[in-house]
Amino acid sequence: RKNIPSRPETMTTHFFPAYPWDKSSLKSMPVDLQQFEKLDAYALKVNVKNSVEELVKALLKQARTDLEKVRAIWMWICHHIEYDIVGYHNKSQLSTKPIDVLQTGKSICEGYAGLFEQMCSIAGIQCMKLSGFSKGYGYKIGQTFTGDSDHAWNAVYLDGRWHLLDSTWGSGTVDDSLTKFTFRYNEFYFLTHPALFINNHFPDNSNWQLLKPTLTLKDFENNMLHKSNFYMLGLLTAHPETAVIQTVNGTASVSVDCRSATLFTFKLKGTDEHGLMTLKKHGMKLDIYPQKTGSHKLQIFAKPSKASEEVYNCVLEYVVECKSVDKAMRFPKDLHQPVGPSWFTERQGFLRPSHPDPIIHTNDGRCSVTFTLGKDISVLASLHSDDSSLTEDMRRRHIMQIHRGNQIELKIHLPHAGNFVLKIYAKKKSDPGNYDYVFNYLIACLNTEAKWPAFPQSYSKWAEDYEILEPLSGLLPANRNIQFKLKMHGIAKVLVQAENTYPLTQSRGYWEGTCNTSGCREVFVMVHENANHSFYSHVLKYEVETQ
């Protein structure tokens, strides 16, 4: 046997660098998983059930270093021992003796840890079986831990220091009702960095936290539970760090920091309606406004931006305690998370937004949003609100697009006060297909006086870079002289047709003139593209107020 150092009670030298975790590695020693590929594949194929000694002997054929020996034992256990659900419910039917675990192929944590310890001992590696509290199956956010420990795991001695691992959790998962075990290998619990392991494992003997300073049980109870997915997806920190959040004046905030571009979603009481989530370059920020008092479950989900699958993994769970409701922050049903521009919308070709924040406030019901557009992008925008019966057509007519070079301006005139969703869609001009949804803003207007008519209706001959300077309102007063000023190019003649027809004259790139609205219900702007043709195209249509 190797020269065995004393237990960690006296081993001050082997603790890890002080909490907090320096975020550089998820493991407590450098591990190159690619170098394990051959060994892992070999260990999975070993099929020895008659004795633990024989099994270890077979596994060690391909393992040279102590680290490789531990890896082979770990891999074998994680893929061959299943969690014994029947035994968990009926302890009298259960043996956790290593030979019984090996021969039945199932056990509970105690048996996993015992088999691991014995296999290491046969392989000449020092290993300890540890017990303590865990935030695993059946854990309720904010609960306290009392009585006997509920979980077992191991520490192994490699390269002159102790390392932690949990083969029960490495092997797979049980469902919420604890009726079914599913093998699902989890690399996270192999030599986990102690600062991360403490997140859901609290050993009976605090020396086995392998941390300086150690955490108290109270810290452990209050601290946020990060799912292993949290770290596996490259997420770094979450705020707040406590699992139970109190709202202040009806709202609370959560933020996550991460290494690389990550997409997030959330559910508060199972829906994403009562929050505003914004994506940041390195994470996300979420403001929630629960619309009922009481305790609500908040879940945060994430996936890498490169992932092709639609699957978001749950990375955090909080309990939100809400004492009062902020009714003003009731969001329209059409609001889609995340809200506002981000690295994601930049990738879709919307650059340098005039409004980087998710909410646009307007006092008089008018606002204007500008972007620099990527090449070859065609934009569609529409306005949605819970309390207006806007038709599909009118949703678009309250927004006017103005293009100047690669700049686009969306001029918005709200039909009434309230909260609106500005939805922005895009497609490649060269694509014949449909527009794809890209993102949305929340537009808020509290001024009940605000009431704007729609912009005039435009037809297909109205080119993208034409511009209306006046009249902007699609509804003209009756019996008035109306001043027209339009920016158009490449045409020979412009007429405004009311009861009579009025030509506009061109000066310095603008077509200008007046028309009288008496005796008509509609006014059309028409253009002659070519002086030699007698054919006119309609480009704009205005309504006239009834008397």
pLDDT in tens, 323-364: 999 988 889 999 999 999 999 999 999 999 999 999 999 999
Cβ count within 10 A of residue 334: 15
**CATH ID of 458-544, from 3.30.300.30, 3.40.50.2020, 2.60.40.10, 2.60.40.650:** 2.60.40.10
CA 91 to chain centre: 41
| pLDDT, tens digit, 9 for 90 and up, residues 390-406 | 788 889 999 999 999 99
Supply the pLDDT for residue 164: 97
The answer to which of 194-198, 243-247, 273-277, 534-538 has the lowest mean pLDDT is 534-538
Active-site residue, from 166, 193, 201, 355: 166
CA 480 to chain centre: 54
Distance set, CA 274 to CA 157, 291, 294 (Å):
49, 7, 14
| Structure-token match 């920020």, residue found | 285
DSSP string over 289-333:
--SS-EEEEEEEEEEETT--S-PPEEEEEEEEEESS--GGGPPPT
| Structure-token match 């695993």, residue found | 136
Supply the pLDDT for residue 393: 83
Sign of the C-alpha dihedral computed for residues 432, 434, 437 and 442 taken in this order: positive
Active-site residue, from 78, 84, 109, 322: 109
Supply the pLDDT for residue 23: 72
166 noted as active-site residue: yes
Answer yes or no: is pLDDT of 314 > 80: yes
The answer to which of 17-26, 238-247, 264-273, 312-321 has the lowest mean pLDDT is 17-26
Answer yes or no: is pLDDT of 4 > 80: no
The model's confidence at residue 17, banded by pLDDT at 50, 70 and 90, is low
The answer to which of 88-102, 113-127, 189-203 has the lowest mean pLDDT is 88-102
The residue among 117, 164, 112 whose CA lies nearest residue 8 is 164
Q: Which range, 202-206, 222-226, 527-531, has the best average confidence (pLDDT)?
A: 202-206
Place domain 343-454 in its CATH homologous superfamily: Immunoglobulins (2.60.40.10)
On the question of a cis peptide bond just before residue 471, with omega within 30 degrees of 0, the verdict is: yes
The residue among 424, 367, 365, 415 whose CA lies nearest residue 390 is 415
* Distance (Å, whole) CA 170 – CA 78: 6
Answer yes or no: is pLDDT of 6 > 80: no
Q: What are the backbone dihedrals phi and psi of residue 320, each rounded to the nearest 5 degrees, phi first?
A: -105, 120
Answer yes or no: is pLDDT of 11 > 90: no
Say which residues have a Cβ less than 8 Å from residue 400's Cβ, sequence separation at least 6. Answer: 410, 411, 413, 455, 468, 472
* Distance (Å, whole) CA 417 – CA 362: 10
| pLDDT, tens digit, 9 for 90 and up, residues 61-76 | 999 999 999 999 999 9
109 noted as active-site residue: yes
Provide the total of helices (H) and of strands (E) in the chain, helices listed first: 12, 34
| pLDDT, tens digit, 9 for 90 and up, residues 327-337 | 888 899 999 99
Question: What is the third-level CATH fold of 232-322?
Answer: Immunoglobulin-like (2.60.40)
The residue among 348, 341, 396 whose CA lies nearest residue 373 is 348
Mean pLDDT along residues 381-387: 91
Does 458-544 match 343-454 at the fold level?
A: yes
Supply the pLDDT for residue 290: 96
| pLDDT, tens digit, 9 for 90 and up, residues 131-184 | 999 999 888 888 999 999 999 999 999 999 999 999 999 999 998 788 899 999
Domain parsing of the chain, residue ranges: 33-217, 232-322, 343-454, 458-544
Cβ count within 10 A of residue 507: 8
Task: Kindly state the tokens that stand for 156.
Answer: 């192994």
Active-site residue, from 151, 226, 274, 398: 151
For domain 33-217, the CATH class is alpha beta
* Distance (Å, whole) CA 116 – CA 77: 8
Mean pLDDT along residues 40-63: 96
- Residue 390, H or E segment: none
Task: Kindly state the tokens that stand for 416.
Answer: 């009434």
Supply the pLDDT for residue 14: 56
Supply the pLDDT for residue 326: 92
Q: What's the predicted TM-score (pTM) here? A: 0.81
Q: With both helix axes pointing from N to C terminus, report the angle between 52-60 and 109-122 in degrees, rounded to the nearest 10.
A: 60
Residue 449: what residue type?
Answer: E
Supply the pLDDT for residue 1: 46
Answer yes or no: is pLDDT of 19 > 60: no
Task: Kindly state the tokens that stand for 477.
Answer: 């007063």
Supply the pLDDT for residue 13: 45
* Distance (Å, whole) CA 499 – CA 495: 12
Answer yes or no: is pLDDT of 212 > 60: yes
| pLDDT, tens digit, 9 for 90 and up, residues 416-437 | 999 999 999 999 988 888 999 9
| pLDDT, tens digit, 9 for 90 and up, residues 450-488 | 999 999 999 999 998 899 999 999 999 999 999 999 999
Cβ count within 10 A of residue 221: 17
Answer yes or no: is pLDDT of 380 > 50: yes
- Check if the beta carbon of residue 543 is closer than 8 Å to that of residue 522: yes
Mean pLDDT along residues 508-529: 94
Mean pLDDT along residues 218-227: 90
Supply the pLDDT for residue 12: 43
The residue among 209, 82, 211 whose CA lies nearest residue 155 is 209
Pairwise pLDDT comparison (524 vs 259), residue with the higher score: 524
* Distance (Å, whole) CA 186 – CA 26: 13
